[in-house]
Amino acid sequence: MLLCDFHIHTTYSDGSVELRRTIDLFGQAGFDVIAITDHAVNGDNPVGKLAHRFKYSITAANFGQYMAHIREEAERALDKYGMLVIPGIEITKNHLTTDNSAHMLIIDIKDFIPACISYEEIFLEAKKQNALTIACHPHYMSAKSDRDTLFLWNNRDKYARYIDAWEIANRDDVFNVISLKKYPYIANSDFHKPRHLYSWKTLLNCTKDTDAVKQCIKHNKGVALTLFRN
């Protein structure tokens, strides 16, 4: 089984560890597959504007540099640790109310997707790029209600068909509503700090290449969850 984490932030957005050290942290811990998913924040409201102002967001301007850096590090990670690194972003639609906020991972992204376009456009663009779309922390999180992002879950009847998988577990939280609905799922750390390494993770029973990993998540067969603790 491949030990995987598909939700990792670096100093390209609001993570505290730079990309190279993040790769080393996961490589040193024996991970097989990770995805780097820094925030791409919507800049159409004051919250998003602040994120752009303080460079806590991937933008069209720095996306090329971000991708080149990930590719370079991915090569090193494969050579040194035998670890597959997949580029991604976390589309971050932050609004003042949690009901209107939504975050989603775009895994194996090729071209930049802005967060300010509509949900339908984002999903279609992701499909066009053959990227995976994952709804992250879609439900109420423990003691972090100010960070809840409920829009996709509240509108699941409309959007579930576009979403390849849902985060059933994020860091220390588990959202059992996802399994009750029988949606495809994965578990991630939402890594921002070194201590977040120890959190919920996904185990995949597939070969270690990007297409096989995406297929495994999409079909949700051979997927298991593990609470990674030291």
Partner 1 sequence: MIIFWILAGITLFGIIGYLLQIAAVRSYTAPLHSGESMRFPRSFSPVSILKPLKGLDDGLFDNLESFCNLDYPAYELIFALQNRNDPAYKVVGKIKDKYPLKDITIVVEHCNEGLNPKVNNLIPAYARAKYDLILISDSNVRVEADYLGEISRHMEDPSVGLVSNLIRGMSGRSLGAVMENLHLNSFIVGSVCFLDKYLKMPCVIGKSMLMRKTELEAIGGFRSVKDFLAEDYIIGERIHRLGKRVVLSSHLINNINEYWGIKRFVNRHTRWGKLRWQIGGAKYISELAGNAVFISFMPLVLMPISWLSLLLAATVSALKIAHDYYIGKKLCADMNPLLYLLSPIKDLIIGVAWFVPILSSTVAWRGNRYIIGKDSLLSPYPEKGRAVRGPRIVTAIRTRLAWSKT
What is the per-residue binding string for partner 1 in 36-75, x denoting contact by CB under 8 A? ----------------------------------------
Q: Does 207 bind partner 1 (CB under 8 A)?
A: no
DSSP string, the chain: -EEEEEEE--TTTT-SS-HHHHHHHHHHTT-SEEEEEEEEE--SSHHHHHHHHTT-S--TTTHHHHHHHHHHHHHHHHHHH--EEEEEEEEEE--SSGGG-EEEEEET--S---TTS-HHHHHHHHHHTT-EEEE-S-S--TT-GGG---HHHHTHHHHGGG-SEEEEEETTEE-HHHHHTT--EEEE--BSSGGGGSSEEEEE-S-SSHHHHHHHHHHT-SEEEEE---
Of positions 128, 144, 195, 221, contacts partner 1 by CB under 8 A: 195
Of positions 46, 71, 75, 82, contacts partner 1 by CB under 8 A: 82
Shortest Å, Cβ 208 to partner 1: 12
Q: Does 18 bind partner 1 (CB under 8 A)?
A: no
Applying CB under 8 A, the site for partner 1 has a residue count of: 14
Of positions 30, 60, 155, 211, contacts partner 1 by CB under 8 A: 30
> Could you list the residues that contact partner 1 (CB under 8 A)?
3, 21, 24, 27-30, 81-82, 194-195, 228-230
